[in-house]
Amino acid sequence: MNKPAPPRFPLGLDRVQSRPAAPRAGADTLQRPQRPLQQAAADQARQAPPSGLGLDSAAVRQRMVQRLRAGGLHCEPVLQALATVERHRFVDSALVPQAYEDTSLPIGLGQTISKPSVVGWMLSLLFEGASARQRGHLGRVLEIGTGCGYQAALLLPLARGVVSIERLQPLHEKAAANLAAWRQGSELRLVFGDGMLGHAPRAPYDSIIAAAGGEQLPAAWLAQLAPGGRLVAPVQRAAGQRLVVVDHTAQGLVQQELEAVQFVPLKSGVA
């Protein structure tokens, strides 16, 4: 069976955007020639952040969503979740200024919070599954790799229940703290365990999404995918990781391989 051409969005997922170096303070600053006062005031006005657009403002998240929409993300439920969930609350304080840039950020223990474009793309792929289109939501979701909890927070308004597994206990505890406000009145279960085993007690799942890639999809994930359900996960290939979509159809499991991605390796066990 011919594989469908990979989608145009997002482009260059495996590239990390570089940030220009900030100018150094000190003697170099003092040696610059003085500018006319009017020019200096105009420059200062251009550099100042817009009034009322702090990180706690919905406007700053809307600007991120506008950039993602311009880049090709058009799944409205996903865009609405991205506009609502405050990403800066899920990263370390030193990284807060970068929270709404389209970049992955470290969250400790060699793990990362994925780019908003990558998260949005994967969630939109889940929504393109047959059963999700029929229901208008993702149904019961299994998330492999809770990390800091950001993607779980995005999943809650999109699903009818979320089970999220994390194998690293410090991250499991961090996610529990980060998600405390979201867990009230929601169907969210955080599990400390081996994600490669899935979570059989709550199976089957209408949607499965993974934030780590191994050489193959674990058999437990495929066994726990409900009929009509969809799985989205990275898989390691010889030339690097590729994003894979698996649909559980009436004819069996149908797999598509999409474009290159870069996630942390999938590991078994707990730590």
Q: Which residues are catalytic?
A: 114
Within a 10 A sphere around the Cβ of 260, how many other Cβ atoms?
16
Gap between the Cα atoms of 242 and 127, Å rounded: 19
Contact 121, 10 (CB under 8 A): yes
Contact 165, 199 (CB under 8 A): yes
Secondary structure in 3-state letters for 146-161 = CCCCHHHHHHHHHCCE
Gap between the Cα atoms of 103 and 16, Å rounded: 6
Gap between the Cα atoms of 162 and 110, Å rounded: 25
> Strands, E, within 109-170: which ranges?
111-113, 140-144, 161-166
DSSP 8-state symbol, 255: E
| Non-local CB neighbours of 104 within 8 Å, separated by 6+ positions | 16, 112, 113, 114, 115, 118
> Over the Cα atoms of the chain, what is R_g?
21
Contact 250, 226 (CB under 8 A): no
238-247 core/surface letters (b: 16 or more CB in 10 A; e: else): eeebbbbbbb
DSSP 8-state symbol, 266: P
